[in-house]
Structure 1
Amino acid sequence: MARESWASRVGFILAAVGSAIGLGNIWRFPWMTAENGGSAFLLLYLLIVLFVGVPGLLAAFVIGRRSNRNPIGAFKSLAGSRAWTALGVLCVVTAIMLMSFYSVVGGWILRYFLESATGAYFADPDAHFAAISYGPEAFGYQLAVLAATAVIVTAGIRRGIEATTKVMLPGIVVLLAALAVWAAQQPAATQGYEFYLGFDGAYLAENFLSVLGSAAGQALFTLSIGGGTMITYASYVDDDRSLPLDASAIAVLNLGVGILAGLVLFPLLFSFAAGPTEGGPGALFVGIAGAFASLPGGRVLGAIFFLVVLLAALTSLISMLEIPVSFLVDEFDLERSTATRGLFALVAVTGGVNAFSPAVFTLFADHLVDLLLVLGLTGFMVYTAWVLGPEAVEELRNGAGPISSPLVVPWRYAIGTVFPAFLLFTFYADVSVLVGLSVGTELLLVATLVTIVPFVLLARRSHSGSHSRPTESAD
């Protein structure tokens, strides 16, 4: 069977942005921002997206377009090494873990969207969310969201993913903008803006390491890098596209929608909830739901709001499911429909564990996935810089144009040294916070150097001759 490609550059960018925006910017972003000092977190998040996220996107794009394969097939065909192929396996595993908890949240959103018509969550938002967030009913709504995702992915790249995201993403932006105007008129909007946008240097100084780890994880989560999504999407990109231009557009649009979502959520959290940290993962459903309960036309506003979030959830779930689907289609020549059905059954099992266990859900959503994404992107960068090496430079220059081309060689050495070292530093900082250890910066730097130096040396040693495009069929 012929391998598909995107019908247009706009389709690719919107699909990638849709994957990046998702629940990361609407559900997870306010929760993580509130728990990490508001503006202090926002500043680090913005810097990491621009100065680490964009180079990381380019590394994933190079791997995907160079190979025209899924993550496992990409590393297998380009590197010819089991060690690097394991990095592709990590991508598929991470995607399944992401879907396992993400689909639970998607189920919550679907339920709240449907219940907005009756105002079922208006009377006592806290008690309502506690009653429906886990258990058989949560699992049922999770399956409904997974089924909708599977239908879209089964339709293919152009007729399914591209056609759907071309409609969903503009709808998300328009509805969010309208909600931001409405949120600005709420009673405590000023306090919300101050918490969100007013820089708090004292908090950042006191909690730098914990905020840094959370900001790095959130940046990678929202950009969908480190887990194989952008490798997979770039494998459908034509050779004449400017990867630097596409990566910059995706990052800027992602930041814009993320900031816009904050302009909606924080005024509402301050106006109608006990505080910005109220509810943790359920803040969207407890704090925001309270806003609709107390307002005229609350049922209509609630339906619009949760429709936006539902569309965002679907755009991300689509990209996550495409990773293992592309693997089964590319490597085993399965029909797309057969691969999708099999993965639906698998995620129904792994996701069901999250739907019935709050402890497992919190472990996946709050820490484990962040750590896997950081490790994945570290591997992408080192691999691109030192295993592909000059071939990565050649690939990135294809279609790059006169402005981007001079930056390609500095990009290669930056992703081979500075950026992976930074990511490993944040990884160790996050692990130390997770296990409750008080670790100084000096020790974290030592751990980073002890890891990154041999890793780079091994990667350089594994570079053997040319890693040109695979000549065998990718069908």
Structure 2
Amino acid sequence: MSDRETWATRPGFILAAIGSAVGLGNLWQFPFKTATNGGAAFVAFYLVAVVLIGFPAMLAEFVIGRRTHVNAVDAFERLGHRQWRAVGALAVVTGFWILSYYNVVGGWVLRYILGSARGAYFADPGGYFGAVSAGPEAVLAQALFLALVVGIVALGIEDGIEKATKLMVPSIVVLMVGLAAWVATLPGAGAGYEFFLSPDLGTMVDNAGSIIPFAVGQAFFTLSLGMAIMVTYSSYVGGEDNLITDGGAIVVTNTLVGVLAGLVVFPILLTIGADITSDTTGAGALFVATAAGFGSVPFGRLFGVVFFGVVLIAALSSAISLLEVTVAYANDNYDIPRTVLAPAVGVGLFLLGLPSAWDTAWLTWFDSFAYQVFLPLSVLATAVFVGWVIGEDAVAELREGAGGIGAAGGVWLWTVRVLVVAAVLLTLGLGINEMFLVDGADFFAPF
């Protein structure tokens, strides 16, 4: 096994974790899921899930990683529970699964940056998406995006991931604030803000069963939970770091960018009168509608390049964290340099992503399975392990570097034991019911 790297600085870890969280989950999935799941009602459920479920679950993953200083699979054995290695393996598989189609969407973003500069999608946004989202061109764009990700991870923790995210994360926040300020001047801004920020109680009550699985899944996705990312990243952290404040910074920044994404996207869509609640284009709904918006507003080419440039930065920052999960496992167990491991894993990801690149129906299938099965199942298993298996040892690790948190450690432990486990069980049950029973025909359509 090769010598293990660490973060050069504490801000480097925080920015890398924020970069993982602030990705396509915020700038692609969040607006898309909001639009097709009740608007502000979805946002309300999502914010509750982030605070009550996501944050405690994130700390649970931090505890495992920092206490063991190894990858997500071997961490359970180092804690004295070899039989729980399957939980870490599930998280690694989940991250690998998600990155396989994430690269495809990253390829779309590359094409939309070029399309914005040329104004290529202005005349026919739907037709442009159809041309670039599937088939040989999508496969090529997927490979190009994946090559960028592999190159960064191959450079290592300090020289690759940390340096890249120190540049990426501040850039995302600054550019999103600028875009939100510009969007506020559009004639449809008020209607967009109302759809995004004013929940309807009736919608929340009547559709809770269908909204909750996606809201909780979105919290997991955007906080990079259940994918072994936070276990892996925290394994490079020293004992003097305060995991609570670090986790709080990640949650707040991630939520801020998600809200900014909504404040940018929905006013644009309402300005052009788009049917934002329609799911006729599936995973590409927001690409089509947003492209139409940039084609209808002043300086659309410029702002299109800036917007999709931000999306590209965010996509890269998350993709490198997902790739690092698998590379870290291999790097901990085999004497193979990163420069070989990263491209080798990249080839596997490319092959698994081919169905999603060739047909968007497969991408939607992969995404639904990740949201409604893999992510909640992985988070549930981790919460049970931390809450009921290692228990007080987890609290002791959380207290390291956190000063006198007193009874807060016990409150956190019981939150993980009861609230997180119960909420994720409910989410998993609702998700499986929605996927296989309510939408069973749609789910099996790619087959």
238-247 vs 409-418, which moves further = 409-418
Matched residue SS, 1:199:
coil
CA distance in 2, matches of 1:338, 1:165: 22
Determine if contact 1:70/1:326 at 8 Å carries over to the other structure.
yes
Determine if contact 1:94/1:369 at 8 Å carries over to the other structure.
no
- Per-residue deviation, 1:436: 2.7
Aligned counterparts, 1:183-222, within 5 A: 183-222=183-222
| Paired residue type of 1:25 | N
Deviations 1:63-113 (A, max 9, x none): 00011011111122223323x111111111111111111000000001111
- Aligned counterpart, 2:443: none
- Aligned counterpart, 2:241: 241
Which consecutive unaligned segments of at least 5 residues does structure 1 have?
439-475
- Per-residue deviation, 1:119: 1.0
- Per-residue deviation, 1:213: 0.8
What TM-score does the superposition give when structure 1 sets the normalisation length?
0.90
Cα RMSD after superposing both structures = 1.3
- Aligned counterpart, 1:158: 158
Deviations 1:201-258 (A, max 9, x none): 0011111111111100000000001111000000001110011111111111111111
CA distance in 1, matches of 2:215, 2:297: 34
Determine if contact 1:221/1:370 at 8 Å carries over to the other structure.
no
- Per-residue deviation, 1:366: 2.8
Q: Does 1:379 align with 2:381?
A: yes
CA distance in 2, matches of 1:214, 1:302: 28
| Paired residue type of 2:181 | V
| Paired residue type of 2:419 | V
328-337 vs 271-280, which moves further = 271-280
Determine if contact 2:99/2:323 at 8 Å carries over to the other structure.
yes
- Per-residue deviation, 1:297: 2.2
Q: Does 1:419 align with 2:430?
A: no
| Paired residue type of 1:387 | V
CA distance in 2, matches of 1:7, 1:374: 32
- Aligned counterpart, 1:142: 142
CA distance in 2, matches of 1:99, 1:111: 18
Determine if contact 1:277/1:283 at 8 Å carries over to the other structure.
no
CA distance in 2, matches of 1:273, 1:362: 25
After superposing on structure 2, the runs of 4+ consecutive aligned residues of structure 1 that deviate more than 6 Å are none
410-419 vs 312-321, which moves further = 410-419
- Per-residue deviation, 1:382: 1.0
- Aligned counterpart, 1:74: 75
Determine if contact 1:273/1:288 at 8 Å carries over to the other structure.
no
- Aligned counterpart, 1:340: 342
Q: Does 1:232 align with 2:232?
A: yes
- Per-residue deviation, 1:56: 0.3
| Paired residue type of 1:286 | V
Relative distance call for 1:44 and 1:369 in structure 2 (3 A) is: closer
Q: Does 1:364 align with 2:366?
A: yes
| Paired residue type of 1:198 | S
- Aligned counterpart, 1:409: 410
CA distance in 2, matches of 1:195, 1:369: 24
Which consecutive unaligned segments of at least 5 residues does structure 2 have?
440-447
CA distance in 2, matches of 1:437, 1:152: 41
Aligned counterparts, 1:25-424, within 5 A: 25-82=26-83, 84-278=84-278, 279-402=281-404, 404-424=405-425
62-71 vs 370-379, which moves further = 370-379
- Per-residue deviation, 1:370: 3.8
CA distance in 2, matches of 1:3, 1:180: 41
CA distance in 2, matches of 1:419, 1:294: 44
Deviations 1:360-419 (A, max 9, x none): 2111123434421111111111111222222111111100122x3421112112212221
Deviations 1:342-377 (A, max 9, x none): 101101100112101322211112343442111111
- Aligned counterpart, 1:443: none
CA distance in 2, matches of 1:329, 1:235: 13
371-380 vs 429-438, which moves further = 429-438
Relative distance call for 1:395 and 1:241 in structure 2 (3 A) is: same
Determine if contact 2:139/2:357 at 8 Å carries over to the other structure.
yes
- Per-residue deviation, 1:273: 4.9
- Per-residue deviation, 1:333: 2.7
Matched residue SS, 2:118:
coil
